[in-house]
Chain A
Amino acid sequence: MPDQPMKTLDQLIEDLGGREARFGVLAESNTYQLTVIARNTDVAVGDLFLLPCKRGPERFYIFRTTQYANVMNRTLDLNDVARNKLTMPDSYLSQDLAEENLIELKGIVLGYAERGDEDWTFHRPRRLPEHLTDVYRVNPFDPAVAQVVKTLMSSQLGKDGLHIGNLLAGEVPLEGVEIQLPAYALSHHIGIFGRTGCGKSNTMMVFLKSIMDHNRLVASGERHDRRCSILAIDPHDEFQTWHFKTGGKDGIRGIVNGYTEAQKTDLVAPFYYLTGRDNPTEPFTAKLRLSRADITPQDLASVVEMTDQQVAFANRYYTKENMGDRWIGKLNDLNVENAKDDPDIADFHPGTIEGVKRRLSFIHAGNNRIFTSYDPDKGDTYDSMLPDLLVAMESGRLVVVDTTLISEIEQFMLTTIVARVLFLLRKALRSVSSPANLESEIRGALGNDDATGAIGMQSLADAIWERIENGSLPYLDGDEIRSTDQLPYVNVVIEEAPSVLNPERIRFGSVFRDISRQGRKFGIGLTVISQQVTAIDQGILTQINTELTMALGNEEERRSAVRNASADLTGFERELQVMGKGQALATASYRDIPLPTQAPNFDTL
């Protein structure tokens, strides 16, 4: 039930300022386009208007202007006036309150809200307002008007979710009219597209804060939902301290510092910030370490360009007897000439083997800051925080990874490994029938099978099972297998996404191909951040069902954004062209209409 009695159409008109506040009148209209004649006012493309109508049940149509023109009333012809003004330089046309100077707005109906028994419900624009309907402008500076919009569009705006910004009326965000993504959107795939300088970082900060707020509310019982986890790549090392170093607001660290000790344990520990820097000293921060044992040939193929032969060799070498997660160390030591004597790989050309070795050169000292050696035969044991990272992701955590000091390949390798392993674990959890089978199922998913002698990711499997047994990885609920539906919504952010999600890389069996198609089933989503839409593989784009499209660089990108959006962006093309900093068009398959939004300035939150 709504908190307050539902307002009638007449009451909402009063909230809009009554008939005196009428802005214009609906003129010729059809289901494709509405035309409104209005008084001479400073309007902007994107301004919102409300059209109350009583043809049928009480309805408010929501109209968004896509273009407007200056027109003259009655006998005056605008061109004549302009000619006169030019040829009679001292003449003018006074700006009077009479209806001589008018504007003609054209635009689209976003939809309509219909008064139901208990609430106003939003519908797609299958109907038209009646002839000569009064038109009210959504004045973004009037809180009462914003409240009317909120009432009418509540089902589209979302609630109890992740705040990404406020609804834009033209150029101004409506105070109190928040657009929220459902928490489950994190387990789907999200696209954030925008050119440099369009405000992506601030938008991400707002988004991350919303995730933290959500987890805090869920933990305290104020919100009934699942927790959310996100692995947020931070290429500029901004998210932790934001503008604190220059005297501005603190970032995630500030939020964490505001938590109680219990909240820190429940919502943050063991870390929220990983970095390539040595010995970070702040609480809940750590140096990022992964092991060479965490890398599989599939990860490599997902991140760097490899030929079919190279992929085939890497897979064969990885699955050799007694190889598995030791493959990188062994391959480094492999003399290519001696490979001819190894029957398992003798059929591969030396050039192919050298090619794979070259592609692994990023883990060599000098290029590598995060990957530790792994060679049990030489005493190099498994040293990786991947198991703890997985525990964090399965416990509802936000983990920011500062990638300023690590190479691009290391960054992509990190996201690839985390996404792949999470995907495999969730998939195994879904398929296991009883707790007794859980270990074998997980080891099997990681390619570690004693029965067949396959080593696979044995070190990781051991570490994971240890954490399942000690309860830190919450896959068991007493004697029951925990359903993936009880685990947090997990999201892995892929920065500079075209590097790993371009059509060429996806074609050669990237882990992201599977995750993009099936991750949703297991509660794992990707956030694809890119300056270009066109550079992303079409298969990935079709799987994205929540888009935040910000200002884009050129017409081709805008066309691509319109084509791939999850909601019809017809009529919003111009919006994409004029979008300001922090503004975005939010589209989602679970929403009926695109919502123009302005992310609040994180410094003011």
Chain B
Amino acid sequence: MPAHIPISTKFKVKAEGLATKMAAWESKPRLDEITENRIRGAIKSFPHTNSVESFRIAGVDGSGDYPSFSYADSFVYVATASGTVFRTDALHGLVEEVVLTEPNLELVWLPEDREKAKDQWFAAFESLAGAMVEEVLSLSDYSDLKKKHAGSGASIDDLIFPRASDTSNCGIQLRSVAEWGSALRIILAQPPCRYVLMDTTLSLPFIKTKDNSLFHEHLKRLCCREARHKEVSLFTISKSHGLPSIELVENLAREALGLPQEKVAEHWFLRLPVNGIDDWDFEGLIEGRQIPPVGAVTYLFRLHKNTPVMRLDMDRLWWEKRLRADSCAEGRIFQDIDYCGHDQRAYGYPFPIKACHDRTRLSMAERSVLKKQIIDAAVAKGMKRSLFKDASAATGHA
């Protein structure tokens, strides 16, 4: 960037204009008094929890290199995810158990030609999901939900496969399938976990779109279904809930809990209104977003003042069956999650997810090693080393 820009008059004028627009948007009243009262009334507190009964809790997270490198007009992606399982322990807080001995890892080669790439996509999905694509689609309730919201079901022929060079979409698909594939394995593992937590949401981006769907949407709903069958509480937790003006909710929570202004409200949760069940809405904050997602129920909650308000999604059918009429069970869930958020390394955040994230994350050095090993193996098979390109480096973005 030219060095003079930050001090140029033109830049300063533009920055002031931007700030004015932002301030006007920020000060826009978002919630009416009635909604504020409904929110205050819906906010529930739960006690700081330092002892719980014995249970297992898992965290699932993924990582990868999207792409790792390119070769001619094809791309190689590295997708990985794993899960960590802990049991509660009076002495150590949480003690990890061995459940998944290997991470869910796949090296995916995608040629730019979509037709040619299709087989690679299928192979990668099946490997990462641990199930046939047809099987996932038939067992998942995604198609039923889609029929209800889009008027038609989803078929295998209408799965969306991005071009190999569409690296961000390829990355999202591969990583999501890797994560949900790991979640599925943990949900089915014995002995069962009481909770499986994931750092994502239960959003289904194409649920209201006719025909088209993403494979990981099907897999996500299959996980919900299997979790119901296995009586596992499958929750997604997101720090980046994407809600504007969340401080409004925080203020309402503080007021609801009767705390003075300088205090931060902690240990509370709020279930967002569900269409068709609740007679109020949250539109002022969600601004057209699909929250709760189709087939899900969403909570906002805060464990500790050091960590932000987080979003928790759960399968709506699970909620209907287990929590809708049982406020005690609802509160116990957040107490259990609170207990699991007292590890010093991630105080206020469920440690199983943090542990899994740390375990799965690929560092730059690790990415380089993987890349080198893959290229070496390819060169050993007679391929030209000179044709392998680091996609990021090649465009000067590394």
- Say yes or no: is B96 at the interface (Cβ < 8 Å to chain A): yes
Known: A90-B48, A90-B50. A95 touches B344 (CB 8 A): no
- What is the number of residues of chain A that contact chain B, defined by CB distance less than 8 Å? 16
A523 CB → nearest B CB, Å = 59
Known: A81-B344, A84-B344, A85-B344. A94 touches B355 (CB 8 A): yes
Instruction: Tell whether, in the assembled complex, residue A92 and residue B344 are in contact, meaning their CB atoms are under 8 Å apart.
Output: yes
A-B pairs with beta carbons under 8 A, tally: 55
User: Once bound together, how far apart are the Cα atoms of A359 and B115, in whole Å?
Assistant: 113
Instruction: Tell whether, in the assembled complex, residue A95 and residue B358 are in contact, meaning their CB atoms are under 8 Å apart.
Output: no
A39 CB → nearest B CB, Å = 12
User: Once bound together, how far apart are the Cα atoms of A94 and B92, in whole Å?
Assistant: 5
Most buried by B among A94, A96, A98: A94
Instruction: Tell whether, in the assembled complex, residue A94 and residue B358 are in contact, meaning their CB atoms are under 8 Å apart.
Output: no
Instruction: Tell whether, in the assembled complex, residue A94 and residue B48 are in contact, meaning their CB atoms are under 8 Å apart.
Output: no
Known: A76-B345, A81-B344, A84-B344. A92 touches B358 (CB 8 A): no
Instruction: Tell me which residues across on chain B come within 8 A of A98, comparing CB atoms.
Output: 96, 355, 358-359
**Which partner residue on chain B sits nearest A89 by CB separation?**
B50
Instruction: Tell whether, in the assembled complex, residue A91 and residue B96 are in contact, meaning their CB atoms are under 8 Å apart.
Output: no
Instruction: Tell me which residues across on chain B come within 8 A of A93, comparing CB atoms.
Output: 92-93, 343-345
Q: What 0/1 pattern do residues 59 to 97 of B give for CB contact below 8 A with A?
A: 000000000000000000000000010100100111110
Instruction: Tell me which residues across on chain A come within 8 A of B95, comparing CB atoms.
Output: 94-96
Which A residues from 430 to 449 make CB contacts under 8 A with B? none
Known: A76-B345, A84-B344, A85-B344. A94 touches B351 (CB 8 A): yes
A103 CB → nearest B CB, Å = 16
Instruction: Tell me which residues across on chain B come within 8 A of A91, comparing CB atoms.
Output: 93, 342-344, 347
Interface size, B (range):
20 to 34
**Which partner residue on chain A sits nearest B338 by CB separation?**
A90
A495 CB → nearest B CB, Å = 48
- Say yes or no: is A451 at the interface (Cβ < 8 Å to chain B): no
- Say yes or no: is B98 at the interface (Cβ < 8 Å to chain A): yes
- Say yes or no: is A88 at the interface (Cβ < 8 Å to chain B): yes
Q: What 0/1 pattern do residues 318 to 362 of B give for CB contact below 8 A with A?
A: 000000000000000000000000111101000100010011000
Instruction: Tell whether, in the assembled complex, residue A94 and residue B359 are in contact, meaning their CB atoms are under 8 Å apart.
Output: no
Partner of A96, one of B48, B84, B342: B84
**Which partner residue on chain B sits nearest A75 by CB separation?**
B345
Which A residues from 65 to 122 make CB contacts under 8 A with B? 76, 81, 84-85, 88-98, 100
Instruction: Tell me which residues across on chain B come within 8 A of A85, comparing CB atoms.
Output: 344
Which A residues from 551 to 569 make CB contacts under 8 A with B? none
Which A residues from 444 to 466 make CB contacts under 8 A with B? none
Instruction: Tell whether, in the assembled complex, residue B96 and residue A97 are in contact, meaning their CB atoms are under 8 Å apart.
Output: yes
Instruction: Tell whether, in the assembled complex, residue A88 and residue B344 are in contact, meaning their CB atoms are under 8 Å apart.
Output: yes
Most buried by B among A76, A89, A91: A91
User: Once bound together, how far apart are the Cα atoms of A81 and B93, in whole Å?
Assistant: 14
Instruction: Tell whether, in the assembled complex, residue A92 and residue B94 are in contact, meaning their CB atoms are under 8 Å apart.
Output: yes
Known: A90-B48, A90-B50. A96 touches B344 (CB 8 A): no
Instruction: Tell me which residues across on chain A come within 8 A of B89, comparing CB atoms.
Output: 95
User: Once bound together, how far apart are the Cα atoms of A93 and B355, in whole Å?
Assistant: 11
Which B residues from 80 to 131 make CB contacts under 8 A with A? 84, 86, 89, 92-96, 98
User: Once bound together, how far apart are the Cα atoms of A92 and B98, in whole Å?
Assistant: 20
A87 CB → nearest B CB, Å = 11
Instruction: Tell me which residues across on chain A come within 8 A of B93, comparing CB atoms.
Output: 91-95
Instruction: Tell me which residues across on chain A come within 8 A of B344, comparing CB atoms.
Output: 81, 84-85, 88, 91-93
A115 CB → nearest B CB, Å = 32
User: Once bound together, how far apart are the Cα atoms of A93 and B354, in whole Å?
Assistant: 13
User: Once bound together, how far apart are the Cα atoms of A88 and B93, in whole Å?
Assistant: 13
Instruction: Tell me which residues across on chain B come within 8 A of A76, comparing CB atoms.
Output: 345
Partner of A95, one of B48, B96, B342: B96
Known: A90-B48, A90-B50, A90-B342. A96 touches B86 (CB 8 A): yes
User: Once bound together, how far apart are the Cα atoms of A98 and B84, in whole Å?
Assistant: 10
Instruction: Tell me which residues across on chain A come within 8 A of B92, comparing CB atoms.
Output: 92-95
User: Once bound together, how far apart are the Cα atoms of A98 and B345, in whole Å?
Assistant: 13
User: Once bound together, how far apart are the Cα atoms of A134 and B48, in whole Å?
Assistant: 44
User: Once bound together, how far apart are the Cα atoms of A253 and B95, in whole Å?
Assistant: 54
Instruction: Tell whether, in the assembled complex, residue A95 and residue B94 are in contact, meaning their CB atoms are under 8 Å apart.
Output: yes
Known: A76-B345, A84-B344, A88-B344. A94 touches B50 (CB 8 A): no
Instruction: Tell me which residues across on chain A come within 8 A of B96, comparing CB atoms.
Output: 94-98
Instruction: Tell me which residues across on chain B come within 8 A of A95, comparing CB atoms.
Output: 89, 92-96
Instruction: Tell me which residues across on chain A come within 8 A of B86, comparing CB atoms.
Output: 94, 96
A213 CB → nearest B CB, Å = 45
A135 CB → nearest B CB, Å = 21
User: Once bound together, how far apart are the Cα atoms of A76 and B84, in whole Å?
Assistant: 21
Instruction: Tell me which residues across on chain A come within 8 A of B94, comparing CB atoms.
Output: 92, 94-96
Q: What 0/1 pattern do residues 148 to 160 of B give for CB contact below 8 A with A?
A: 0000000000000
A445 CB → nearest B CB, Å = 72
User: Once bound together, how far apart are the Cα atoms of A89 and B344, in whole Å?
Assistant: 11
Instruction: Tell me which residues across on chain B come within 8 A of A94, comparing CB atoms.
Output: 86, 92-96, 343, 351, 355
Beyond A92-B343, A94-B94, 17 extra complex contacts between A and B, CB < 8 Å: A89-B50, A90-B342, A91-B342, A91-B344, A92-B92, A93-B343, A93-B345, A94-B92, A94-B95, A95-B95, A95-B96, A96-B84, A96-B86, A96-B95, A97-B96, A97-B98, A100-B345
- 23 A–B contacts, CB within 8 A, in A order: A88-B347, A90-B48, A90-B50, A91-B343, A91-B344, A92-B92, A92-B93, A92-B94, A92-B343, A92-B344, A93-B92, A93-B343, A93-B344, A93-B345, A94-B93, A94-B94, A94-B96, A95-B89, A96-B355, A97-B84, A98-B96, A98-B358, A98-B359
- Identify the 4 closest CB pairs spanning chains A and B, nearest first: A92-B93, A94-B94, A96-B96, A90-B50
| Chain B contacts to A: CB under 8 angstroms | 48, 50, 84, 86, 89, 92-96, 98, 342-345, 347, 351, 355, 358-359
